[in-house]
Amino acid sequence: MARLVVIMGVSGSGKSTLAGALAEQTGWPYLEADDFHPPENVRKMTAGQTLTDADREGWIRAMRRAIEALSDHTVIATCSALNETVRGWLVDGLDRDVSWCWLKLDETTARERVQSRAGHYMPTALVRSQFEALDPPAAAWQLDATLPLAHTLNAMKTRLLAPAAR
C-alpha cells in the first residue's frame, strides 16, 4: 500500500529542509504545502493576518488532491497541520498508510528562524499565532527541531525504512 509521510510543525521548524533532504535520499515525491496556498492566503499572511480554518480548507484540499494523484507512490508532504480539523482534511479516508512526524520547536527559536529567512511571505509577527493554534497531535512521533539536520534525517530514515514500518 502507498504511504504518506507528513512532516508537520510551526513555521521555522525545518519542515521543508527535512522533507527536501528525505526526498533526495529516498527518491519519494515531495509536496510542499506552501505551494498550494491560494494568492488570497499569501496576501493575508504577508499582511500579518492569521488564517482561519475557512482559509485553510481549500488550501489543504488542493494538497490532498495532489497526494491522491500520486496514488502509487510513497509521498512526503510538509504542512503546518496545526489542528485536528486540518489534519483530518489532509488524510481522513485516504487509501494509504499515514506517518506523522511533528518537528517540535520552542517559540523563541521559531521566531528567530522565521526572522532570518529571506524571500518567504510568513512574517515573524504570525509565529505567536501558530503556537496559539497548535493542538499537539496524538498520533505523531516527535523530533526535536533544534537538532542537526543529519541527526533528524537519520532518525526519520531509520523509522520509515525499518522492516516493521513497511
State the pLDDT at residue 50: 81
CATH number at residue 140: 3.40.50.300
Task: Please write the tens of the pLDDT for every residue from 125-146.
Answer: 788 988 998 998 888 999 999 9
**Domain count along the chain:** 1
> What is the radius of gyration, based on Cα positions, of the chain?
15
Burial (CB count within 10 angstroms: exposed 0-12, middle 13-18, buried 19+), residue 94: middle
Percent of the chain with pLDDT over 70: 94
| Helices within the chain (DSSP H only) | 15-26, 39-46, 53-69, 84-91, 107-116, 127-133, 149-161
Displacement of CA 161 from its chain's centroid (Å): 20
Query: Which one-letter DSSP state was computed for residue 14?
Result: -
Count of beta carbons in the 10 Å neighbourhood of residue 40: 12
pLDDT at 7 over 80: yes
50: cell is 492569521
The identity of residue 45, as a single letter, is M
Residue range(s) defining the domain that contains residue 87: 3-165
**Distance between CA atoms of 36 and 162, rounded to whole angstroms?**
31
Task: Please write the tens of the pLDDT for every residue from 59-97.
Answer: 898 999 999 999 888 999 999 999 999 999 999 999 899
